[in-house]
Structure 1
Amino acid sequence: MIGNNLQTSSWFMRDGSFLRLKSVEFGYTLPSRIISKAKMTNLRVYFSGTNLLTISKFDLWDPEMGGNGLGYPIQKVYNFGIQLSF
């Protein structure tokens, strides 16, 4: 047996630091003086998303997965919507 195979090594270690925008939501409710002309009482437009941005020097797989690069990748989710009341 070769002794080098049992030695602790940092050869395969990589910088796993990252910055992630995990979730965000933007919404805007239109003023009632504008929407009352269309016989509405409330009108809100919104956008929400999760996992929208990841900044990392490690590009082989998602850094949050650690050493398990064979797992499913983290999904980005985008939602757009309108809430209105008459």
Structure 2
Amino acid sequence: MINSASITPFINNGQRGLLQYIADDHWSETNRNIYAFWPRLSAYQVPNNNVNSTHWLRNGAFIRLKTAGFGYTLPQDMTKKFHVSMFRIYVSGTNLLHWSAFKMWDPEMAGNGLGYPVQRVFNLGININF
């Protein structure tokens, strides 16, 4: 469930900004879509916009490629030429891909999407034993 109270735009003396999703899809006189993401955009907090209801429920199902790695160890007949007993090169990564129908923010984040996103990390390394 999306925490609508924590994403309400323009409150706290203007300290809270406007999420792009709200700017793009809110009910108005020119956009009378009853399924618009934000019920009614206002410069002031509208209490009816923050009532818990099924309007704020979203499908949070997702598939993520969390970690993957690949490495290669050179054969010993090649490493002997360089006077090393073992030479290995590898690459790995975390949070590489995710697929979800929910496009507002990463589904593993908290209910308002205002925190830092989940980091994508890549590692490249070499192991050499003499």
The aligned counterpart of 2:86 is 42
User: Which residue, out of 59, 62, 86, partners 1:15?
Assistant: 59
* Matched residues, number: 82
The aligned counterpart of 2:107 is 63
The aligned counterpart of 1:81 is 125
Superposition RMSD on alpha carbons, in Å? 1.8
Which structure has the higher relative contact order (CA within 8 Å, separation 6+)?
A: 1
Tell me the distance in 1 between the aligned counterparts of 2:56 and 2:129: 58
Structure having the larger proportion of residues in strand: 1
Instruction: Indicate the SS of the match to 2:80.
Output: helix
What residue ranges of structure 1 are gaps of 5+ in the alignment? none
The aligned counterpart of 2:34 is none
What residue ranges of structure 2 are gaps of 5+ in the alignment? 1-47
The aligned counterpart of 2:29 is none
Tell me the distance in 1 between the aligned counterparts of 2:82 and 2:101: 51
Offset at residue 13 of structure 1 (A): 1.7
Runs of 4+ in 1 over 3 A off after TM superposition: none
Change (3 A) 1:65 1:79: same
Tell me the distance in 1 between the aligned counterparts of 2:102 and 2:52: 22
Letter in 1 for 2:61: S
Letter in 2 for 1:84: I
